[in-house]
Structure 1
Amino acid sequence: MNEQLIVKNFGPIKDATVDFKKVTVFIGPTGGGKSTLAKLAAIFRNDKFYSITPSTREELFKSSSINTFFSKDSKFTWTDNDGSFFTDINLLTKNINNKLVNTKPTAKIDILFKNTEKRLKFQRISEKYANSIKSNKAAGNLLKQLNDLIDNIPDPLKPTYIPAERIFSSTIEYSLAGILINNIGLPKLFLNYLNELNIARKEVKKLKIDFLNITYIQRKEKDYISLQDTKTSLRLFEAASGIQSVTPLMILIEHLTQQKEQAQSFIIEEPELNLYPTAQQGLLNWLVEKCTTGENDLTITTHSPYILSHLNLLLYAYQVAEKHPDRADDVAKLVPRESWIDPDEFAAYYVNGPEGKNGVRSLVDNETKLISQNGLDTVSGIQADIFDQLLDINSGF
C-alpha cells in the first residue's frame, strides 16, 4: 500500500503526514487526534467522497462528527494506490433556490493525479469552472466533465469504521428499529455500525472466540454466549463487558471478510476495550489474521501499551521466519503464522495534537523495523521513571 494523508490545521491536528500500510496504528493521549486521522482515512476511502456533490462530501465529515474541525487554513492531501485528483470544496457549488452558492466548509482537499495528462486536463476544467460559471446549465456541464474524468479511477477500499461506542450494541440490538424510526440522536458512525452489525447477525449464527474460551451462538434471533469450560449459556447482554465489546465486533468482521469480491478497510477504535492484556493479544492475533488477507487492511487507534508490545512480537516473528526459513515452523508454534506482520507493511504513529511537543511522529525504528524502545517508553514508561525516582529517594540519592 502507498496511501498517504497530509493534514494541516484540522481540529487537533496542526500538521501531520501519515503513510498508511497494511496495518496502521495510532496511539497517544485522549484528544490528541488519533480518531481524527482514522476518520479522515475512512472518508477519503469512501467512494461517495468522489462524487462531485458538495453536500455529499460535507455529510461524510458531519456523520463522522468532525465537520466542526474546519478552519480557513484547513488543508488535506490524500494520495491513494492508483492516483487521484485535485479539487477545492470552495469551488464546488450546489443549487439552492436556483442560485449558485459556495459550499462550506471552505478547506482545500488536494489529491494529485499520478497520470500527468489526466491531472492537466482536470486543472484546465477546474480553471474553467472557477472562472467561467455563468449559469446552472454551464455548471452542470462542467460537473459532468469532471465526473467523466474520474470514472476510470478504481473503486477505493470499502471502509468499515467500528467506533468505541460498540460496547452498547448488545444492550440496544433489539431496539434498533425504534431508534431509527424515532430519530434518536446517536452518533451517525455508531448507527452505521449497528446497521452493518444487524446484517451480519443474519449470516453469522455461530462463532468460536477461543482466546476468551467462549462461543457465540444465535438462537431464534437472540444472541447467546456459551462458556466452553462450564458448558453453560447466557445472553450476550448478561456477559462480561469485554465479551459484550468484542463479540459484535468479531461477528461483523467475520461477515465482511467472507465477501471476497470487495476489498475491505477495517478501522477500529480501541480494540482493547474492557479486555485483560492476554485477551487483547488474542484479539489482535485474530484481527491481523482476518483483516489483512488479500487486499484488505487494518487501522486501529489505541491507548494500550500491550497492543504495541504484541505488535512488536508479530513483527519480530515474521523477521525471524524470514531470516531462518528452516525454523519457521518453530516460530509458528509460538506465534500463529496467520498473524505475522511484514514490517514493510506496518506503520505506527504517536499522535499528540498541536499542543504536543512532538505532534505526530512515527514510532517505527528504520533499522530494526520494529516499534522503537523509545516509542514504547513514550506510551508506557512514565510510571517506571517515577518509580525509579522513588527508589533513588529511598536510597538517599
Structure 2
Amino acid sequence: MIRLRVKNFGPIGPGLSENDGWIDFKSVTVFIGNQGAGKSTLAKLFSSFSWIEKALVRGDYESRWFARKGRMKSRFLSYHRLENYLEGARGSLDIEYQGHAYSIRYVDGQLIITELHHQGYALPQVMYVPAERNFISYVRNPRELKLSSESLKEFLTAFDQAKESLRGALKLPINDSEIEYDKLNGILNLKGPGHKLRLTDASSGFQSFVPLYLVSEYFASTVQIQRQKRQEPMSAGEAERFRKEVESIFANNTLTHEQKRLALSVLSARFNKTALVNIVEEPEQNLFPSSQWEILKSLLTFNSQGVQNRLVLTTHSPYIVNYLSLAIQGKHLHQRIVASGRQELLPKLEAIVPSQVLLDADDVAIYQCDERDGSINRLPSVAGIPSDRNLLNDFLRTGNDLFDKLLELEESI
C-alpha cells in the first residue's frame, strides 16, 4: 500500500482524522474541496515523493544526497512551488511517505530515508498535469516561455514529446473529433464534422482537454510498450557508468534544473518503466458534463492498462464523483451478471459503462479537504458506492435550498 501522512503543512492542518493520519493511495485516488483546501498540495507532495522513490530505486544517486539538509525545500518543494508553505506552519510539521521500496519522512528540514523490501516495485513514469494547462496550446516550444514553475515546464516538454510522437490523426473521445500535428509549422489542428481549425482557435474546453488527453495517452502507450518489451536490467558495469553520467549531469552548472531533469530522463531511457502515475488537476476544466464523463473514461482506461498504475485526481466537479460511482456500480453489476450466468446482459452493460472503466470499490479512495481547519476526511461509502453526502453535492443542495427560500419569500408578497 502506498500512503502519505501530512500534518501542518500549508493549508493542511491536522490532516486525516482516521487511519493514524495515513492517506491511502489506491488505483484511483480523488481529492475534493474548496479552493485553498489543500487538494493540489497533497497531489504535489505525492508526485514529489513518488519521483524521489523512483530515483532511489533507479540508483540515480545515493540516499545521503537526498537527505542533505535543505535539499527537500530547495529542490523538490520548490519544483511545485511549495517551499513557502514551510513558513507559518499551524503546528509541528509532519510529512511521511511509505511506498513499495522506501519510507521517506521529512523532519527538521531534511529527509530520513529507510529502504524497504521492494520485490513488487514497478518503476513508474510520474506525470503531473497542472490546472494551468490551457494556455500551452499557444506554445510551439517550451523554451519560448520563461516560467517559474518547474512542473509546468516539464508538462510543456511532455506535451511537446506527445505531439512529435503523433503519426497521422488521433481520435478524440469527445464531439467526434480528432487531432493532428503539422510538424512543418508546429501547429496542432482540430478536426471534426465539417470543420478543421487550429487548436489555438478552438474552444477553451478543447484547449484544456487536448493537452491532458494527448500527454496521458502518450505516456500510457509508452509505458505499455516498455512493459511488453520486458527489458533486462543493467549489468554492474552499466550501472556504474550510469551513476558516473548522472553525477556528471548534476555537476554541470551550465545546465538549468529543467535541462538536468531532461538529460537524466534521456539517460534513464534504458530502464524499463512499467507503471504510470498520472496526477491530474481538475480534469473537468471547461468541459460540459458529458465531456467530463468522456475524459474520465479515457483516464480510467489508461489506468487499467497496468495493475500498478495510479490515477490521482483533484476536482471541484460533482459529476466526476458521480461518474466514479457509475464505474463502481458497473463493476458490481458485472460480477452479478457473471455469477448468475446471464452473459447475454454484458453487451448492454458495456454500452453504459465500458469494461475497461469498471472499478472495484476497494480500488477507489475519495478524500474531502476542509479549508476552514485544514482537516481531511475520507468520503464514506454505502455498499461500496461513494456517498452522495459530499461537499460537492452539498453545495448543489444548498443552491436548491436557497431557491426554495426565494419561492417562500415570493409567496409572502
Q: TM bucket by the smaller chain?
A: 0.7 to 0.9
Task: Report the CA distance between 1:345 and its aligned residue.
Answer: 0.4
Residue matched to 2:9: 10
In the alignment, structure 1 residue 28 sits paired with structure 2 residue 33: yes
Distance 1:331 1:87, change over 3 A: closer
3-state SS, counterpart of residue 373 of structure 1 = coil
3-state SS, counterpart of residue 103 of structure 2 = coil
> Are the equivalent residues in 1 in contact too, given 2:134–2:204 (CA < 8 A)?
yes
Residue matched to 2:218: 255
3-state SS, counterpart of residue 102 of structure 2 = coil
Partner Cα distance (1:86, 1:306) in 2: 35
> Are the equivalent residues in 1 in contact too, given 2:33–2:39 (CA < 8 A)?
yes
Residue matched to 1:383: 399
Distance 1:86 1:348, change over 3 A: closer
> Are the equivalent residues in 1 in contact too, given 2:175–2:192 (CA < 8 A)?
no
User: Would you say how many aligned residue pairs link Structure 1 and Structure 2?
Assistant: 335
Task: Report the CA distance between 1:167 and its aligned residue.
Answer: 0.3
Match of residue 289, structure 1, among 301, 309, 316: 301
3-state SS, counterpart of residue 46 of structure 1 = helix
Q: Deviations over 1:189-220 (max 9, x none)?
A: 11110011111211123311132221101123
Task: Report the CA distance between 1:322 and its aligned residue.
Answer: 1.2
In the alignment, structure 1 residue 76 sits paired with structure 2 residue 76: no
Superposed, which structure 2 residues align to 1:168-179 within 5 Å?
168-172=135-139, 174-179=140-145
Match of residue 311, structure 2, among 269, 282, 298: 298
Residue matched to 1:97: none
Residue 142 of structure 2 aligns to which amino acid in structure 1? L
3-state SS, counterpart of residue 321 of structure 1 = helix
Residue 385 of structure 2 aligns to which amino acid in structure 1? L
> Are the equivalent residues in 1 in contact too, given 2:9–2:85 (CA < 8 A)?
yes
Residue matched to 1:132: none
Partner Cα distance (2:359, 2:116) in 1: 29
Residue matched to 2:369: 351
Residue matched to 1:275: 287
3-state SS, counterpart of residue 283 of structure 2 = coil
Q: Deviations over 1:84-121 (max 9, x none)?
A: 2355554xxxxxxxxxxxxxxx27x6776666xxxxxx
Match of residue 389, structure 2, among 354, 362, 374: 374
Residue 202 of structure 2 aligns to which amino acid in structure 1? A
> Are the equivalent residues in 1 in contact too, given 2:35–2:371 (CA < 8 A)?
no
In the alignment, structure 1 residue 157 sits paired with structure 2 residue 117: no
Task: Report the CA distance between 1:267 and its aligned residue.
Answer: 0.3
Distance 1:88 1:317, change over 3 A: closer
Partner Cα distance (1:24, 1:199) in 2: 27
In the alignment, structure 1 residue 39 sits paired with structure 2 residue 38: no
Query: Greater relative contact order: 1 or 2 (C-alpha under 8 angstroms, separation 6 or more)?
Result: 2
Residue matched to 1:321: 334
Q: Deviations over 1:26-47 (max 9, x none)?
A: 1110010000000011011003
Residue matched to 2:204: 241
Match of residue 173, structure 2, among 210, 218, 221: 210
Partner Cα distance (1:315, 1:350) in 2: 19
Distance 1:380 1:362, change over 3 A: farther
Partner Cα distance (2:143, 2:46) in 1: 29
Distance 1:236 1:377, change over 3 A: closer
Q: Deviations over 1:297-347 (max 9, x none)?
A: 111101111111111111111111112222333211212222112111001
> Are the equivalent residues in 2 in contact too, given 1:15–1:354 (CA < 8 A)?
no
* % identical aligned pairs: 27
Residue matched to 1:201: 163
Q: TM-score, normalised by structure 2?
A: 0.74
Task: Report the CA distance between 1:291 and its aligned residue.
Answer: 2.5
Residue 266 of structure 1 aligns to which amino acid in structure 2? N
Partner Cα distance (1:186, 1:171) in 2: 18
Gaps of 5+ in 2: 17-22, 57-62, 227-272
Residue matched to 2:234: none
> Are the equivalent residues in 2 in contact too, given 1:29–1:351 (CA < 8 A)?
yes
Distance 1:354 1:159, change over 3 A: farther
Gaps of 5+ in 1: 91-105, 116-149
Residue matched to 2:77: 61
3-state SS, counterpart of residue 385 of structure 2 = coil
